[in-house]
Structure 1
Amino acid sequence: MPRLWRGVHTTHNRQAKYGSYSIMDTASSTVLDVQLIQSSEVANSNAMELAGLQQCFRTLEQAQIGVSDVVTDRHTQVRAFLRTYRSLTHPIRHWFDVWHMAKSVYKKLMELGKKKGMEEAAMWGRSIASHLYWVASSTPPGEFRAEQARAKWVSVCNHITGVHTHDSEHFPQCLHGPLEDRIWMIAGSKVHKELEAIVKSKTLVKDIAQISPFDQTAEVEAYHSLVCQFAPKFTHFSYSTMKIRLQLAVIHHNANSGRQQAVNAAGDGRWAVQFPKNQGRLPVARKLKTRQTYGYVHDLMQEVIDLRMEFDSYSRARASWDAVAPRSSKPLIAEEGRPSKENVVASHQHRYSQH
């Protein structure tokens, strides 16, 4: 019987040669599938993401797993594909990841704040990015979600000037209580107009309607970090080795995705204070989780022993591996018709040689 997942979060990790694409269930934080795309398989590196998503969906369809909601970044090709794609005859609701959107807005505000006379934009950057997270979490799916989300988002342009009532029936006033004294931005000033142009960008306001109600940022970041540990970006791997390392990362992630927050002797949750570079080295509280488990390693070692008992020589083991090893559908350099080194050297001509 087909299973219907309420929502999946897609992630991608792109290098010059490879692009990996994963699908994560938003309810359990379990990675359902991972695909590896080689640059030779697509027209250009920008097309890797769509190719990876399509391959992941094919895998889910073969397993009779349907999808009702998908969370991705705002990739143009992916958006066009998901407008018409149907999962096991079910239409898909496409959402945009709030982390990517908030990061984009924050980056633009920080760049604006570097200009002379625009320093206030940078001062409000973190608050405005946090406001976007609040818009996503406080606006559940419903008939008027798009209108409510857009009204909440653009209201920040009034809020930063000390005005907390808005000309919108969907969000007539801010929901916070009394605020302490602070330096508000002057409405209509040059910096306010420049900031307002970023916040009210036509494309951004349109996309706010599809901002994801699913909170998966922490799990996705943890998975991305794990992939980089198993397959460092600055180390070259063959296609089969890269695919295996990605699969090991998925195995480890899925084995530890359900860990809870660790507690101390008094039963209180344990926390750590970090100073991430991408947040300006400001202190951030992070939950400390229980220890990771590595039970899957025992299962893998047992598989190694079983294979050793099955194949009594290296040549037989190698032949078996060659039959099942992951391979790209299109190698970087075609072996057929490859010219000899001697012919290439003989035809070589220096660009500045005399004719």
Structure 2
Amino acid sequence: MKSLGIGEDECDSPDEGQANNLRDSIIEMDDFLQDPDNLDLGDEDSSDEEFAPSLYLRNVCANQCQLPEQSVDEAVLDFELPEPLEEEPHNLPAQRRVVSEEDLVGKTANITFNDNLLTLANHLSLPKKKCSHKDKQSGACPGARPFRVNLKPRGTGVILEWLCPFGHTVWQWNSQPTLKFGMQGGDFMLSMNILLSGNNYRKVALLFKFMNMGMVAEGTHFRLQDAYCIEPVQEYWEKTRVEVLERLHQKDHLVVLGDGRMDSPGHCAQFCTYTTIEQDSRDIVYIVSVDKRETSRNSVIMERECFTRTMDALLQELPIKEVVTDAHPQISALLNPERGKYKDWGIQHSLDIWHAAKSLSKRLLRAGSKKEHSGILVWTRDIVNHFWYCSKKADNEEQFKLMWVGVLHHVRNEHVWATGYCEHEPLDEDSGDKPWITQGSASHKALTAVVLEKRFLNLVKKFLNFRTTSDLESFQNHILMYAAKRMGYTPFVYKTRTLLAAIDYNKHNRRQAARNREGHKMYKRSYNKKSKNWSVGTVKEKKQYTYIPEIQTAILSRRIRSGTGLPRTVAMRAEDPRRLGLLAPVQPPPTSELVRVQVSRGNLIHGTPQEDATQ
């Protein structure tokens, strides 16, 4: 939705504001879908509920330039790569303890090879000439220089030991500063930043394995994450959300956009995350996650539960007058002005115009897939564009319907009728590039049934404000950077990762367009394989992530102020959904029993050698 189609003649820089204006766009569709020979017309009863036609938006006011291409990674992982540090001489540091947050946050680190460390250590001359070890029986150790250097890897760091000829430790040096109770600062920072950067422990551990580097233990990582990282991230999110709400309190009429996201496809989803964005500022004002166990293990009603929690919270904080969602029937029932839960709040419910256009195109393609209705296919793109035009221009429901039914006259070459007329320019006799549909034919009757469908016409009033939730679609794609759908997370870690995605989105929501050395805006092209369409988007300034040190400081402060070491076990929080039981509706049998049953079934199917012999 943020990109624009490009023409072929001009080469002026497009205006970003005009290019991103939804009202200056039209619907495009693959020509492939308009050819009846490309659809299976033999099975009239078959329908794919998951089929989505290749629709895309094209801006009618854009120009083309020779621009670089933009990859998906560049769009999501959009941050400034660090410049290589200049080599500077450093003195060998003494052993350091972490006593404050400044001792770790913002400090630079490097990859060091053990052989290089040993080479350096063997060329160092310690200030001690003799071993200082004393024993009650033998007295002082007679060991003297040269001392032997021993290297012991520990986590992501390494410990160097200088040993006298009798094996006594003369001096130790750790490559990392250490926290109280012995945890290495590098281990702590790595584990914390795996979470803050949206990475996965197993993938980072595999990277370290290939690099032959030490790694934080898996149990240590997850205990550290649960004990120190979750609450500071939640507190920081609430702090930034208060700042957003203070800005929005100045408005009398607020329009919010809402949409839900499941953590995995189908009915096997465990989490549903519902996000709400304010229409003008595009700031996330609320985000909530619900575990399947909180809805009696029924994933179908998770989005409704998320929406209810969202509205119950926001209506107490903001003067919301309009809510824009997709056509979710349970949410539509909650916002019903006569019988819904929020009928007393006077909230107007609008539907996403983009989803409505896609739904209309699916119904048209389904109707045109029958052989006798194939005349509809060549008009599908025009009909969807006519719906788009009616939604933009109509001021009320009656005006929309008068304009909308005109498509039934236009497709049969009738441009003036009793109740209206086509608003396009007069057509030349030889300008028609599509076959007209005959009135009363099977194709015209099928098209009439789609255009005048009662359920569709009842929703017209929800299209008139011409709203879209495209920014929410972009954010939900951004969540994948922090909470991948193919990874498993505990409920609070999953919630924390979605909050990190929301913080990232809000902090970088107002980035300006990047400019080249001449001061001109920079653009990049991208190619959509599905629609076979090139588009161009504005390159934004690189993300700075200036808020990360503040979160790091809060997490490290929680560890320092705790006064204890890393707990061996982490207590389950009172509101943890895991207290409600397992995700499965039945208790699992013992593993030994499952193995026994599995083995017996295998013997029953394939037979053992003894059974084959007796047979």
On whether the aligned pair clears a TM of 0.5, the verdict is: yes
Matched, 1:234 2:234: no
Task: Output the amino acid matched with 1:49.
Answer: E
In structure 2, relative to structure 1, the CA distance for the partners of 1:204 and 1:18 (3 Å cut) is: same
Task: Output the amino acid matched with 1:54.
Answer: T
* Residue number in structure 1 paired with 2:432: 182
- The CA distance in 1 between the partners of 2:309 and 2:564, in whole Å, is 36
Deviations 1:197-255 (A, max 9, x none): 22221111111221152543431221121123322222222211211111111111112
Matched, 1:115 2:370: yes
In structure 2, relative to structure 1, the CA distance for the partners of 1:226 and 1:146 (3 Å cut) is: same
2:500 is paired with a residue of what secondary structure?
A: helix
In structure 2, relative to structure 1, the CA distance for the partners of 1:270 and 1:243 (3 Å cut) is: same
Matched, 1:13 2:253: no
In structure 2, relative to structure 1, the CA distance for the partners of 1:132 and 1:71 (3 Å cut) is: same
Q: In the TM superposition, what are the counterparts of 1:92-103 in structure 2 within 5 Å?
A: 92-103=347-358
Contact 1:41 1:329 in 2 (8 A): no
- The CA distance in 1 between the partners of 2:492 and 2:302, in whole Å, is 18
Task: Output the amino acid matched with 2:451.
Answer: V
TM-score normalized with structure 2 length: 0.48
Task: Output the amino acid matched with 1:200.
Answer: L
Task: Output the amino acid matched with 1:182.
Answer: G
* Residue number in structure 2 paired with 1:130: 385
- The CA distance in 2 between the partners of 1:323 and 1:332, in whole Å, is 14
- The CA distance in 2 between the partners of 1:115 and 1:286, in whole Å, is 39
* Residue number in structure 1 paired with 2:421: 173
Question: Which stretch shifts more, 116-125 or 104-113?
Answer: 116-125
Match of 1:152 among 403, 416, 422: 403
In structure 2, relative to structure 1, the CA distance for the partners of 1:182 and 1:307 (3 Å cut) is: farther
Q: In the TM superposition, what are the counterparts of 1:220-231 in structure 2 within 5 Å?
A: 220-231=472-483
Question: Which stretch shifts more, 243-252 or 185-194?
Answer: 185-194
Question: Shift in Å at residue 177 of structure 1?
Answer: 2.8
In structure 2, runs of 5+ residues without a counterpart are 1-245, 605-615
Match of 1:47 among 279, 301, 308: 301
Q: In the TM superposition, what are the counterparts of 1:234-273 in structure 2 within 5 Å?
A: 234-262=486-514, 265=518, 267=520, 270=523, 272-273=525-526
* Residue number in structure 2 paired with 1:29: 282
Question: Shift in Å at residue 95 of structure 1?
Answer: 0.9
Contact 2:513 2:521 in 1 (8 A): no
In structure 2, relative to structure 1, the CA distance for the partners of 1:45 and 1:163 (3 Å cut) is: farther
Task: Report how many residues are paired.
Answer: 338
Contact 1:67 1:92 in 2 (8 A): yes
* Residue number in structure 1 paired with 2:161: none
Task: Output the amino acid matched with 1:301.
Answer: Q
In structure 1, runs of 5+ residues without a counterpart are none
Match of 1:161 among 412, 419, 431: 412
- The CA distance in 2 between the partners of 1:113 and 1:288, in whole Å, is 40
Question: Shift in Å at residue 98 of structure 1?
Answer: 0.9
Task: Output the amino acid matched with 2:532.
Answer: R
- The CA distance in 1 between the partners of 2:372 and 2:383, in whole Å, is 19
Deviations 1:234-283 (A, max 9, x none): 22222112111111111111122233555564746735243252xx3334
Contact 2:324 2:467 in 1 (8 A): no
Contact 1:271 1:285 in 2 (8 A): yes
Matched, 1:198 2:445: no
- The CA distance in 1 between the partners of 2:569 and 2:276, in whole Å, is 32
Larger RCO (CA within 8 A; separation ≥ 6): 2
Contact 2:255 2:323 in 1 (8 A): yes
- The CA distance in 2 between the partners of 1:119 and 1:287, in whole Å, is 40
Task: Output the amino acid matched with 1:51.
Answer: E
Task: Output the amino acid matched with 1:9.
Answer: L
Structure number, greater radius of gyration? 2
Q: In the TM superposition, what are the counterparts of 1:48-67 in structure 2 within 5 Å?
A: 48-62=302-316, 64-67=317-320
* Residue number in structure 1 paired with 2:556: 305
Across the aligned residues of Structure 1 and Structure 2, the Cα RMSD in angstroms comes to 3.6
Question: Which stretch shifts more, 238-247 or 36-45?
Answer: 36-45
Contact 2:521 2:538 in 1 (8 A): no
Which structure shows the bigger proportion of residues in helix conformation?
1
* Residue number in structure 2 paired with 1:327: 576
1:109 is paired with a residue of what secondary structure?
A: helix
Deviations 1:167-223 (A, max 9, x none): 44xxx3333334571334313232232223222211111112211525434312211
1:7 is paired with a residue of what secondary structure?
A: strand
2:547 is paired with a residue of what secondary structure?
A: helix
- The CA distance in 1 between the partners of 2:369 and 2:414, in whole Å, is 26
- Percent of paired sites with the same residue: 23
In structure 2, relative to structure 1, the CA distance for the partners of 1:211 and 1:334 (3 Å cut) is: closer
Task: Output the amino acid matched with 1:296.
Answer: Y
